[in-house]
Amino acid sequence: MKRFIQGEHRGQSSLLPESLDDYVADTNPVRVVDVFVDELDLGQLGFDGVVPAETGRPAYHPADLLKIYIYGYLNRIQSSRRLEREAQRNVELMWLTGRLMPDFKTIANFRKDNGKAIRGVCRQFVVLCQQLGLFSEALVAIDGSKFKAVNNRDRNFTSAKLQRRMEEIESSINRYLSALDTADRQEPAVAQVKAERLHDKIATLKAKLQELKEIEVQLNEIPDKQISLTDPDARSMKTRGTGMVGYNVQAAVDAKHHLIVTHEVTNDGVDRDQLSAMAKQAREAMGVEELSAVADRGYFKGEEILACHEAGITVFVPKTLTSGATAAGRFGKGDFIYDAAKNEYRCPAGQSLIWRFSSVEKGLKLHRYWSSHCQGCALKEHCTPSSERRVSRWEHEGEPAEFGKNRTLRISRTFRSRGVIGGRQGRGERLLHQGGKRGAVLGAKYPGRLQLQQAPMQHTLPPDAQVRVRFLHREGQDRAQLSQLVRLQSVRGFTWAHKGRVP
């Protein structure tokens, strides 16, 4: 007999009703969230309300609200109002909280008031992954990705943009004044109507011009000469296309499992000044003495690489191609061989470029070299259009700041083939954008870099938290095993970040 699978009647009673635990599979990642949060010392992390107040209505325990928050992050549930609805209908959330149903305001206030503590949870999660051996290689890839801020481009100003806007307004005012003179020569009735309208437009433009002059005063007091009105911390950044106003989010990614070790929100539009800071943060997060870091050529800066070397961190960064000679078909700086013993360069024609003088530019001491034999050289047209070819050298160039060309290329190709860096989007950048799709919906409405760091988004919990939860489940399936994994040692009263007992 042909038939369909039939469901149970809604009014059907059961003598032995199922428990809520029966609806959550043993392999469900929500069990990891439950065990992980239960083993945290929320008071030490700085959560408010860990100790209940003696008076007033009983409050929700921070652990229950943290579970709701993490669950929403992992499942891309955007707002506190949606989390409120999910707590009323989602079986996994019912299981996670014991059928607690806090209202949206409670969830929103928890998120707002415990930003630093939630960031501490992120650090604990990183330490847990490190203890489980997920960061087995002392090797990271550093990359950055830009995220749009809650600030329209029209409300971001630089000196040039401000002057251009003021000139446009002054031009419009002059045009309306000219139209006002023309209206005065028309019939009185028509002239009066036009004059009133034009006076209103001129008054509006003058008010706007005065507002821009006030912004100019503020702009001159800011070191980087840039101001954003809606999101003061956001900055205009170059991207593939027309650019954007936003933040540059840096991440250090473990080379083995491609897990994010540490991350930082910056408003610097370029990556060149971020290498040493991110490498040091990654070493601290991984708890290792020696660390190697690899990054693309956008991070190449002698001072940064030197700072990493002085901190005991080995870095592999392809050198930036700063000279246009190679693109023009002429010899590049790499074709000139430096002789450290003689402190001179040897050009492709075999002539010596000797040291001439030293100068300081942008805080860097540079040495200048050139030869006196360029005028009669047969290869001059392949070398320089000037009277002589000059080569500049930083005082620390060739120490730690520059690795052998073959070694750098070999390292870069290795990581490119493993998908850690390179291509249009490296692994770290992809993880940030995947986390952005999950987390930006939770935090994009929180303007400001500090708020962004503490907001419920990809910069507070790791963007790859879902991946890490799956790793934990790969290690243990039932609650007892998961609890043992999370404990590692006696977690209550144990500071993972310092690997020691709390005094």
- Distance, in Å, from the CA atom of 90 to the CA atom of 84, rounded to the nearest integer, reads 10
For 139-148+235-319+404-454, CATH number? 3.30.420
Q: List residues bridging with 310 in a β-sheet.
A: none
- Distance, in Å, from the CA atom of 273 to the CA atom of 142, rounded to the nearest integer, reads 12
Q: Which pLDDT band, with edges at 50, 70 and 90, does 495 fall under?
A: very low
111-147 pLDDT, tens digit per residue, is 889 988 888 888 888 777 777 777 766 889 999 888 8
- The predicted pLDDT at position 85 comes to 95
The answer to whether 384 and 347 have CB atoms below 8 angstroms apart is no
More confident residue, 448 or 43: 43
Q: Which pLDDT band, with edges at 50, 70 and 90, does 477 fall under?
A: very low
Q: Which pLDDT band, with edges at 50, 70 and 90, does 393 fall under?
A: confident
Q: Which has the closest alpha carbon to 110: 41, 54, 34, 49?
A: 49
In the chain, what are the domain boundaries?
A: 20-113+464-501, 139-148+235-319+404-454, 153-228, 333-394
- 157-161, 427-431, 467-471: which has the highest mean pLDDT? 157-161
- The predicted pLDDT at position 262 comes to 85
> Which DSSP string corresponds to 187-254?
-HHHHHHHHHHHHHHHHHHHHHHHHHHHHHHHHHHSTTSEEESSSTT-EEE--SSS-EEEEEEEEEEE
- The predicted pLDDT at position 415 comes to 53
190-232 pLDDT, tens digit per residue, is 667 778 888 888 999 999 999 999 999 999 888 888 999 988 8
338-368 pLDDT, tens digit per residue, is 888 888 999 988 888 888 888 887 667 888 9
- 53-57, 275-279, 469-473: which has the highest mean pLDDT? 275-279
- Distance, in Å, from the CA atom of 502 to the CA atom of 443, rounded to the nearest integer, reads 33
- The predicted pLDDT at position 35 comes to 87
**Mean per-residue pLDDT, 36-42:** 90
Q: Is the pLDDT of residue 400 over 70?
A: no
262-284 pLDDT, tens digit per residue, is 888 888 989 999 999 999 999 98
Give backbone dihedrals phi and psi of 460, rounded to 5 degrees, phi first.
-105, -60
The answer to whether 142 and 252 have CB atoms below 8 angstroms apart is yes
Q: Are strands 390-394 and 156-158 parallel, antiparallel or unpaired?
A: unpaired
- The predicted pLDDT at position 482 comes to 53
- Distance, in Å, from the CA atom of 437 to the CA atom of 78, rounded to the nearest integer, reads 11
- The predicted pLDDT at position 310 comes to 86
Q: Which pLDDT band, with edges at 50, 70 and 90, does 32 fall under?
A: confident
Q: In angstroms, how far is the first alpha carbon of the chain from the final one?
A: 73
Q: Which pLDDT band, with edges at 50, 70 and 90, does 65 fall under?
A: very high
- The predicted pLDDT at position 485 comes to 52
CB count within 10 Å of CB 354 equals 13
Give backbone dihedrals phi and psi of 6, rounded to 5 degrees, phi first.
-100, 140
The backbone region for 204, taken as left when phi is positive above 0, alpha when psi lies in -120 to 50, beta otherwise, is: alpha
More confident residue, 395 or 473: 395
Q: Which pLDDT band, with edges at 50, 70 and 90, does 449 fall under?
A: low
